[in-house]
């Protein structure tokens, strides 16, 4: 008759090995390099899905990336706007956070009354993918800028950093 305690030990060892393999898959590495991380701060509040009060987001946020050494483009959009996705900000930024140019100046969130929760999403893109179109259409309203300029840009370019967001509930 087989020894039950020995079987338990073996199965426990196998489970631990499986857990170890799974945890190794969850590393923050992509192709041997650390993954680029986008950092957005409003009034010293780092964002990541929470609701912000108006006093925090009224001024342009501080933006930087880690594990990326070149300048990049950052976009801020509101996909919950009533007409269509609204562009709130497009900027060329240094990795340490200094803004080089703003093809589309910052417009603080101001969701129309009774339109519910709005998600404000940030994405970072490599500067090498910038086209003159991003810079030359800055007089378009936010939803037209998104439809005519940003949407094709986003479709044709992969972000270098994950989306960061915060929410605002309309009154």
Pick the more confident residue, 77 or 33.
77
Long-range CB contacts for residues 127-130, cutoff 8 Å, separation at least 24: 127/70, 127/71, 127/72, 127/73, 127/92, 128/70, 129/73, 129/153, 129/156, 129/157, 130/73, 130/92
pLDDT tens for 26-59 read 334 445 567 889 999 998 888 988 888 888 899 9
Looking at residue 92, its pLDDT comes to 92
Looking at residue 2, its pLDDT comes to 56
Residues 87-101, mean pLDDT to the nearest whole number: 91
Tokens of residue 169, six digits: 């509930």
Domains in the chain with CATH codes: 36-169 (3.90.280.10)
Q: What is the pLDDT of residues 104-160, one digit of tens each?
A: 999 999 999 999 999 999 999 988 766 677 877 778 888 999 999 889 888 888 899
Q: What's the confidence (pLDDT) of residue 33?
A: 64
**CA-CA distance, 152 to 147, in Å (whole number)?**
8
């Amino acid at each position: 008759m087989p020894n039950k305690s020995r079987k338990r030990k073996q199965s426990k060892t196998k489970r631990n090995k499986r857990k170890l393999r799974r945890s190794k898959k969850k590393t923050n590495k992509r192709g041997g390099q650390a993954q680029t991380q986008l950092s957005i701060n409003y009034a010293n509040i780092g964002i990541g899905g929470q609701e912000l009060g108006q006093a925090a987001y009224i001024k342009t946020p501080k933006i930087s990336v880690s594990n990326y050494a070149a300048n990049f483009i950052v976009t801020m959009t509101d996909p919950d706007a009533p007409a269509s996705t609204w562009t709130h900000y497009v900027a060329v930024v240094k990795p340490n956070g200094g803004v080089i140019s703003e093809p589309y100046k910052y417009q603080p969130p101001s969701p129309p009354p009774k339109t519910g929760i709005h998600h404000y999403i940030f994405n970072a893109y490599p500067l090498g993918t910038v086209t003159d179109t991003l810079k030359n259409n800055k007089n378009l309203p936010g939803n037209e800028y998104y439809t005519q300029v940003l949407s094709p840009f986003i479709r044709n370019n992969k972000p270098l950093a994950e989306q960061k967001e915060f929410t605002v509930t309309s009154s």
